[in-house]
A and B are shown apart, each in its own frame.
Chain A
Amino acid sequence: MDFLSEHQPQMLPGKRQLPPVQGVIEAPHGTTIVAVTFPGGVVLAGDRRATMGNVIAQRDIEKVFPADEYSAVGIAGTAGLAVEMVKLFQLELEHFEKVEGATLSLEGKANRLSTMIRSNLGMAMQGLAVVPLFAGFDVDRGKGRIFSYDVTGGRSEEPGYAATGSGSLFARGAMKKLYSNDLTEQQATTLVVQALYDAADDDSATGGPDVARRIYPIVTVITEEGFRRLTDEESSEIARLILERRLEQPDGPRAALL
């Protein structure tokens, strides 16, 4: 990144000259990302919809990416900028690893992402914000961790679960009622799809499982073994089970009153 800023500064998102514009630029926006930790790892998942105003810009966008072997980023906000940010982030982690011969610590990666979001602040003020969710397996501590960000690059570690994007309020509500700290990997993957279903239920910009087109949420799991993305069969199976139960109970599982 330092090398890029010296030699080809125009390649970096933060260094771009923006034409003066009034109002908000119309560009596709990605919506909801959720993450949940479980003993032994962390699950990061995202829906598949991108919206531009009231139009669905894309039905099958992918918003969760591996950052390196032990971490992943889910992006909400302006899709084009976010994808570029992730690409640069991936590049930087890989570059560091090759030059130094060692991987960055999870904290180090989270801090680096924070700086990158902050460099996008000018664009964010014009309505082109990028707000990712970063999750990874901390090899030193042997557990999964989640970091959430705000638009100014402020970083906070979230215990248990987190969500970002337009449907995050509803997803967070769902996860709050369903989360416990002794989930299995299987339960954690089901939980994130439940949360995304609830987000899609109440937020028009979040897409639910699309049975007709076979488009299902992207679910990724990071454990000691590294990053793994659930296959389409696996995630469709989770979505199918949830859909079946929701036919009987449209609001999903009920938590105890007291």
Chain B
Amino acid sequence: MSTPFYVSPQQAMADRAEYARKGIARGRSLVVLQYADGIVFVGENPSRALHKFSEIYDRIGFAAAGKYNEYENLRIGGVRYADLRGYTYDRDDVTARGLANVYAQTLGTIFSSAAEKPYEVELVVAEVGETPEGDQIYRLPHDGSIVDEHGSVAVGGNAEQISSYLDQRHQDGMSLAEALKLAVQSLSREPNGGEREIPAERLEVAVLDRTRPQQRKFKRIVGRQLDRLLEAGGAETATEAEESDDEE
């Protein structure tokens, strides 16, 4: 009988974390930004059927980078949690904070359990408030920690570079078109410093819009509406550029 090698707990955790990080880094990045009327989710997604963003409840949206089957599993769990809670108590009693806690517990347990491989996912749970101050965005890395984010957040392969780009340029009170434009710019930056074009068909865009009259604030932006917004964002920056030219 052979004796198993001794692996220190630090080493074991570091290995697992690296495994999960590598898995997440293989996927494409996505960004979540606050704008004047809500929160916008933007990501590059060649598939029309497998969504990265989804509605969880009235005011709560979900975004995930990493392995599809794993985050889909978590998404359905979240929808169940939210619906059961809303049915048992009241629709107002379902909050992003509660949901983020449940996700953190799940991810944390899986990460530290030796029997399972860690999930290769990174999640964002966002809740749109009545006012921009009431918006909440939580980022949940693979190990089950929770990071409370403000303004903008990026997850996925190139997340660090993208989020520093966003941090420098994101402002409160941007219009949807401006926020979308900024998001696409940040996503089209390559790790080596170059840029590439992301066509509208490969973009997945969704919003949590606090001005929507319906109870459910989540909405996917597709087709003509998306084209229109992208054009509007382009036009605005073009006029801004012209104005600054005039000033000079």
Q: Is the CB of B87 within 8 A of A11?
A: yes
A47-104, CB < 8 A from B: 87-88, 91, 94-95, 98-99, 101
Contacts of A88 in B (CB 8 A): 87
Q: Are A95 and B88 closer than 8 Å at their CB atoms?
A: no
Chain B residues whose C-beta falls within 8 Å of the C-beta of A3 in the assembled complex: 80, 84
**Interface residue tally for chain B (C-beta within 8 Å):** 13
A81 to chain B, nearest CB (A): 15
- Residues of chain B from 57 to 92 with CB closer than 8 A to chain A in the complex: 76, 79-80, 83-84, 86-88
Contacts of A87 in B (CB 8 A): 87
Q: Does A258 contact B (CB under 8 A)?
A: no
Is the beta-carbon distance between B76 and A99 smaller than 8 angstroms? yes
- Partner pick for B79 among A7, A8, A99, CB 8 A cutoff: A99
How far is A8 from B87 in the complex, measured between Cα atoms in Å? 12
Residues of B within 8 A of A98 (CB): 54-56, 79, 83
Cβ of A95 and Cβ of B83 under 8 Å apart? yes
The interface residues of chain A lying within 8 Å CB-to-CB of B79 are 95, 98-99
Closest to A69 in B: B214
Q: With a CB–CB cut-off of 8 A, which chain A residues contact B88?
A: 8, 11
- Which residues of chain A are within 8 angstroms of B216 by Cβ–Cβ distance? 94
- 11 further A-B contacts with Cβ under 8 Å, apart from A94-B83, A95-B79, are A3-B84, A4-B84, A7-B84, A91-B83, A91-B87, A98-B55, A98-B56, A98-B79, A99-B76, A99-B79, A101-B54
Which residues of B line the A interface, CB within 8 A? Answer: 51, 54-56, 76, 79-80, 83-84, 86-88, 216
Lowest 7 A-B CB distances belong to which pairs?
A98-B79, A95-B83, A91-B87, A98-B55, A99-B76, A99-B79, A3-B80
